[in-house]
Chain A
Amino acid sequence: DAGVTQSPTHLIKTRGQHVTLRCSPISGHKSVSWYQQVLGQGPQFIFQYYEKEERGRGNFPDRFSARQFPNYSSELNVNALLLGDSALYLCASSSMNNSPLHFGNGTRLTVT
């Protein structure tokens, strides 16, 4: 079975630009979460979506937004990019009901 897939794997953007990251969950998983991992730190929770509704939001500015589609895939959007947005963005999926998160390999975003 395919795991959580994320695209693109790497991305370079300029300050002020906008970026869209994509995630496909494991088949059957209805919950998708997004995490930001800055170099040398642990992942930080950004969003959780379940059945296309936002279930949780971390301490991130409104420049960050996300959505989930009917097939449970998800997009993370970041507007007005800052240098500090450079990080590995991880997507994770689960079937909820206290099942563990399964992570993708991430999208490495570099903002110059």
Chain B
Amino acid sequence: AQSVTQPDIHITVSEGASLELRCNYSYGATPYLFWYVQSPGQGLQLLLKYFSGDTLVQGIKGFEAEFKRSQSSFNLRKPSVHWSDAAEYFCAVGARNTDKLIFGTGTRLQVFP
């Protein structure tokens, strides 16, 4: 079955601390992987994507993610969190030539000053 698991429902960090959000996927075909961020009442904004090539991908707002095929993971990282990073983060998996994405249930990030 195709699925995305985000094991952490809620994470709290202090401003300036490092961050890692976990994502594991199960997908039959070659996966295309995405991280999106959603602020309250807003749509989803793409942070970064992985299609192929270098397994460490850089995104916007200082985020990066590493694809590990052996672990079926695509964890999101940021070295120093800012208060404005507080939001809901979604990992998603898709395939070539389709806009059908399978999303995880999300991780809510709270940032303390």
Contact = CB atoms under 8 A, between A and B. Distances in A.
Given A42-B105, A42-B106, A98-B51, A55 B99 contact: yes
Given A42-B103, A44-B103, A98-B51, A106 B43 contact: yes
Interface size, A (range): 20 to 34
B53 to A, nearest CB: 13
A83 B113 CA distance: 39
Interface stretch (A14-22, A60-68, A70-78, A89-97): A89-97
Contact of A102 (B4, B46, B49): B46
A97 B36 CA distance: 19
B43 A105 contact: yes
A48 interface: yes
Interface residues of B, number: 25
A43 B41 contact: no
A96 B51 contact: no
Given A43-B90, A100-B46, A100-B49, A105 B101 contact: no
B25 interface: no
B44 A48 contact: no
B45 A103 contact: yes
Interface string B40-56: 01111110010100000
Contacts of A94: 99
A8 interface: no
A33 B100 CA distance: 8
Ranked nearest first, the 6 interchain pairs of A and B with the lowest CB-CB distance are A42-B103, A103-B43, A103-B44, A33-B99, A105-B43, A45-B100
Given A45-B102, A97-B97, 5 more contacts: A33-B100, A43-B90, A103-B43, A103-B45, A106-B42
Interface of A: 4, 31, 33, 40-45, 48, 50, 55-56, 58, 90, 92, 94, 96-98, 100-106
